[in-house]
């Protein structure tokens, strides 16, 4: 059993005799590190799985986690116990790359990235200068995240301040830990979506001042990509990053061939796409680069040495025909990476669906993404990508109590599948269970989503 507080506070039943506590009983899985391709019979110090577990929450934080047999007897009689026996409790999902203004762009056909941006994404984004519209979209978008078990995300706004202000206001009301930023974009897009180097810099500074560190919200410096920012804007973005060294820098990198060729024409003196960002001071351990499909050996080396994080977006990469992210190469280069939905280029808000596609992208390259690693990537892996792992990502006491309850009987097929393949103790192995969730699970598997210990899911479908 792991309990919050100093060792002297951890003896006897006194430890759990606190007010404002609630306990959740069910199977519990959380991670302490990346299991990579370890199996469930080895290296169990990388994760903890408790078949009949108990999670105790106090004032929105994790207070204790352990075997129900150890904890239940210590709970004060006044402590409510929410019974999720039969279900699987995991930390809230973290989506490290998503565009909130592209809610209505999802599932729009285009030929490739640039065509899709021009035909669907840019026209949709133009409406976000209107606060009423931006707020209404933010409400639906956040509700959809919660419905899919996602409790934190790294979010693109549009070029308009109102977009991310509206998003932050809704996220704050729902007490969510969110990271986001206003897009910086001063060329190669419709005029109504352009800022200037100076206005983008000033608006970002004002937003940082107003929102960064407010409740659970954090600001991210957000140039769209090298194509839509002039040298002057990239230089001022680098200045912004230098002046705010603890902020995430969030942008796109090396997603498709046409995009990369265009970057080569615009920045002929730079060795590579990554080098463009590097020259402007935008490559460091705070950098989060979506896609990273086409990085050469020198780029991979630079990603590793800088500590920058790559984000693999499988449904988007398949939908737009961009290419296949190579996890094996990322591991060999020791390049940190996360997995994200990239809605609206991505085709699902659901990270189970997303990891299912990640598995297939790996398979096409002769690689294996273990279901344990898939669950790590959706939880602690996502938190680490955003440097939020001291706040969220697993059930270590003191962390914020964002978690998801997954139903083993979400669909008749899942129920049937999870009652088969029985190991000698009568249950499917953990790996079999997790693989079933990844391959067959979707929003129906999300029985409940808790934010700071409070049930947040209001719509079931």
Using CB under 5 A as the criterion, which residues of the chain lie in contact with Zn ion when the complex forms? Answer: 290, 342
User: Which one-letter DSSP state was computed for residue 308?
Assistant: -
Nearer to Zn ion, 317 or 407 (CB): 317
Contact predicate 315/95, CB 8 Å: no
Nearer to Zn ion, 165 or 255 (CB): 255
Helix (H, G, I), strand (E, B) or coil at 59: coil
Nearer to Zn ion, 58 or 95 (CB): 95
Element (H, E) at 298: helix 297-306
For residue 282, what are its two tokens? 């935008």
CB of 378 to Zn ion, least distance (A): 18
CB of 103 to Zn ion, least distance (A): 13
Residues in contact with 275: Cβ distance below 8 Å, sequence separation at least 6, in sequence order: 299, 302
Any idea what the Cα angle at residue 19 is, between residues 13 and 20, rounded to 5°? 125
Nearer to Zn ion, 188 or 444 (CB): 188
Nearer to Zn ion, 260 or 439 (CB): 260
- Between 197-211 and 231-243, two packed helices, what is the crossing angle to 10 degrees? 20
Phi, psi of 194, rounded to the nearest 5 degrees? -100, 135
CB of 290 to Zn ion, least distance (A): 5
Please report, in angstroms and rounded to a whole number, the separation of the first and last CA atoms in the chain: 36
CB of 433 to Zn ion, least distance (A): 31
In this structure, the strands spanning 403-406 and 81-91 are antiparallel
CB of 104 to Zn ion, least distance (A): 15
Q: What DSSP assignment string belongs to 197-209?
A: HHHHHHHHHHHHH
Q: Is 406 exposed, middle or buried (0-12, 13-18, 19+ CB in 10 A)?
A: buried
Nearer to Zn ion, 75 or 288 (CB): 288
CB of 393 to Zn ion, least distance (A): 22
CB of 263 to Zn ion, least distance (A): 16
CB of 46 to Zn ion, least distance (A): 30
CB of 252 to Zn ion, least distance (A): 6
Nearest residue to Zn ion, scored by beta-carbon proximity = 342
The alpha carbon dihedral of 195, 199, 204, 210 has a sign of negative
Nearer to Zn ion, 48 or 95 (CB): 95
Nearer to Zn ion, 27 or 286 (CB): 286
Rounded to whole angstroms, the Cα distance separating 186 from 196 reads 5
Neighbours of 352 (CB within 10 A): 24
Beta-bridge mates of residue 93: 150
Rounded to whole angstroms, the Cα distance separating 305 from 284 reads 9
Rounded to whole angstroms, the Cα distance separating 402 from 454 reads 8
Nearer to Zn ion, 236 or 290 (CB): 290
CB of 343 to Zn ion, least distance (A): 9
The alpha carbon dihedral of 232, 233, 234, 236 has a sign of positive
Nearer to Zn ion, 350 or 433 (CB): 350
């Amino acid at each position: 059993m792991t309990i919050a507080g100093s060792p002297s506070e951890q003896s006897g039943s006194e430890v759990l005799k606190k007010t404002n506590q609630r306990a959740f009983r069910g199977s519990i899985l959380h991670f302490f590190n990346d299991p990579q391709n370890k199996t469930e019979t080895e290296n169990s110090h990388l994760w903890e799985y408790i078949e009949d577990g108990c999670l105790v929450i106090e004032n929105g934080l994790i207070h204790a986690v352990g075997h129900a047999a150890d904890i239940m007897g210590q709970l004060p009689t006044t402590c409510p116990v929410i019974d999720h026996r039969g279900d699987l409790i995991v930390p809230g999902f973290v989506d490290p790359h998503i565009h909130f203004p592209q809610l209505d762009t999802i599932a729009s056909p285009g030929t490739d990235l640039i065509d899709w941006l021009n035909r669907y994404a840019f026209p949709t984004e133009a409406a976000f200068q209107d606060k009423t519209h931006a707020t209404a979209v933010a409400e639906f978008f956040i509700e959809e995240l919660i419905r899919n078990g996602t409790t934190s995300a790294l979010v693109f706004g549009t070029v308009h301040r109102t977009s991310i202000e509206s998003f932050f206001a809704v996220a704050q009301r729902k007490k969510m830990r969110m990271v986001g930023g206003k897009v910086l974009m001063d060329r190669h897009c419709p005029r109504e979506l352009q800022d200037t180097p100076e206005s983008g810099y000033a608006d970002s500074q004002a937003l940082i001042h107003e929102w960064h560190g407010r409740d659970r919200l954090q600001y991210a410096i957000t140039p769209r990509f090298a194509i839509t920012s002039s040298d002057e804007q990239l230089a001022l973005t680098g200045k912004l990053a230098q002046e705010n060294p603890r902020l995430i820098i969030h942008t796109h990198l090396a997603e498709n061939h046409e995009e990369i060729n265009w970057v080569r024409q615009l920045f002929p003196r730079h060795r590579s796409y990554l080098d463009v960002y590097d020259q402007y001071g935008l490559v460091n351990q705070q950098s989060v680069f979506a896609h990273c499909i086409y990085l050469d050996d020198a780029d991979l080396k630079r990603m590793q040495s800088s500590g920058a994080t790559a984000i693999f977006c499988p449904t988007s990469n398949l939908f737009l025909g961009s290419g296949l992210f190579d996890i094996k190469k990322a591991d060999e280069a020791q390049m940190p990476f996360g997995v994200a939905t990239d809605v609206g280029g991505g085709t699902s808000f659901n990270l189970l669906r997303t990891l299912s596609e990640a598995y297939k992208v790996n398979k096409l390259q002769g690689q294996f993404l273990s279901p344990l690693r898939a669950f790590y990537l959706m939880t602690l892996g996502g938190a680490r990508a955003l440097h939020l792992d001291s706040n969220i990502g697993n059930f270590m006491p003191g962390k914020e109590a964002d978690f998801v309850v997954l139903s083993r009987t979400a669909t008749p097929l899942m129920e049937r599948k999870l009652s088969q393949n029985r190991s000698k103790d009568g249950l499917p192995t953990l790996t079999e269970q997790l693989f079933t969730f990844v391959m067959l699970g979707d929003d129906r598997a999300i029985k409940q989503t808790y934010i700071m210990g409070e049930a947040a899911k209001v719509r079931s479908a």
